[in-house]
Amino acid sequence: MDNKKVRVRFAPSPTGGLHLGGVRTVLFNYLFAKQHKGDFILRIEDTDQTRYVPGAEEYINETLRWCGLSPDESPAVGGPYAPYRQSERKPLYRQYAEQLVLSGHAYYAFDTPEELESMRERLKTPENPQPQYNHKIREKMRNSFSLSEAEVKELLANNTPHVIRIKMPADQEMTFTDMIRGEVTFNTGQVDDKVLLKADGMPTYHLAVVVDDYLMKITHAFRGEEWLPSAPVHILLWKYLGWEADMPQWAHLPLILKPDGNGKLSKRDGDRLGFPVYAMNWTDPRSNEFTKGFRELGFLPEAFINMLAMLGWNDGTEQEIFSLEELVNKFSIDRVHKAGAKFDYEKAKWFNHQYLHHKDNESLARLFAPVLEEKGVKAAPEYVATVAGLVKERCYFVNEIWDHGFFFFEAPAAYDEAAVKPKWNADKAAFFAAWAEKLDDVSAFTAPELEASFKALAAEKNIKMGELQLPFRIMLTGGKFGPPVFDIAATIGLTETRTRIAKGVAAFNS
């Protein structure tokens, strides 16, 4: 394995939106591959056609594009081991399932759905509420063990619907080394005889993942810890097919947990607690159910990726902000935690705030442009960039530039008069009238020059600056908020500043 080129894969089923746990699996695959100068493969595991959802594969591709985690090989990109969509590889799998039957490691099962249901009902007990099709009952069912060779041949010749199941050993201890968890041991007697090939000729995940990993020369398999119980089946398949020497190294990633740490984070938890768990917006075409995503909420892809990297991994230091390039350089599988990682939405927002705050103003202006377009506001890109620079420190998301800076684009429709009127008087009204006239004399309409002019007139009129700045702010913004008041005035310009002063004075005098 050490001499082989590293090849890893992300192999999702196209059944819906992509959970943030799935994107983290992509990320860890990608980081490992790039660090070792290897290949990252996207393989679509669509063998279960009953669960296939139109648009889901396109959604997965778009998510990876948005995150900047482009595969080296995929259905869209192609590659030397195409096709990368399992439904297009269907003819490949039966030969391996039949090979397992011939070697005695798998068998034909002709049980109907009704017979299977009858078995489950008949054998159900309080201690065993979901009886499994395993070594204890296989000989009592309609399969190669309970039927004669002649009966089996006749059923096959008549194209009788059947599946092929793996024959799990009755009581065998199996141990393998997980890159994250160390040695993991299972007893095969606790695992049922999984279906490998379905009645429609499609492989199940168990057979397809082993065959495809072998044929695509996958060297390392990263997947969620919920797949640990399936590991004995997969390891035996590698052995039974004669490929044990080529079996990839396994790494079962920790779960992403609910904020309280009590169980795996689900879409239902996000709906209940008010945050997304999908990478992007997703509308299920079957139910029309809408699920919000991180992208549309305003998360920057680089912040989203950084946040995911820290869910179950760190580099051993206090550093929390990493570019993708830094993650590639510093990622190591031995720093991935065994325990689940609690998802903290406030922390996720913090990551986005950090990236937004340090993003250049021109980029923010481009990202904010769709918000302005939606509101019917036209503004020069340079102006929008200036506004973004003034308010971004207060923003967690790009669309909040509007919330914190709407007054740069439209004059206030109302004023917080209660904050001004108790201390408003004729002297203050006269000050603003006079200062509005003097604005023509300011050498440059900049924040420092405006503040100097404002201070000078306040001193001349013997009025404290503090008593004047709040009314001025409310004239410009409508309330007690916004960036430094002279920056606001300098940005909206002479004419607009003078207009807002006049309107504000009239409102406070009324």
Supply the residues annotated as catalytic.
267
CB 244 within 8 A of CB 238: yes
Residue 114 burial by CB count (10 A; 0-12/13-18/19+): exposed, middle or buried? exposed
* Alpha-carbon distances, residue 493 vs 468, 470, 477, 482 (angstroms): 19, 19, 14, 16
Measure the CA–CA gap between 351 and 20, rounded to whole angstroms. Answer: 15
Closest CA to 310 of 260, 357, 348, 263: 348
* Cβ-based neighbours of 224, under 8 Å, separated by 6 or more: 21, 25, 252, 253, 255
Residues belonging to the chain: 510
Q: Three-state DSSP class for 256?
A: strand
Judge contact between 162 and 195, C-beta under 8 A: no
Report residue 166: phi and psi, to 5°. Answer: -75, 145
What distance in Å separates the CA atoms of residue 325 and residue 229, rounded to the nearest whole number?
34
Rounded-to-integer distance, Cα 202 and Cα 130, Å: 25
Give the up-direction half-sphere exposure of residue 448: CA atoms within 13 A in the CB hemisphere: 0
Give CA–CA dist 151/86, Å, rounded: 32
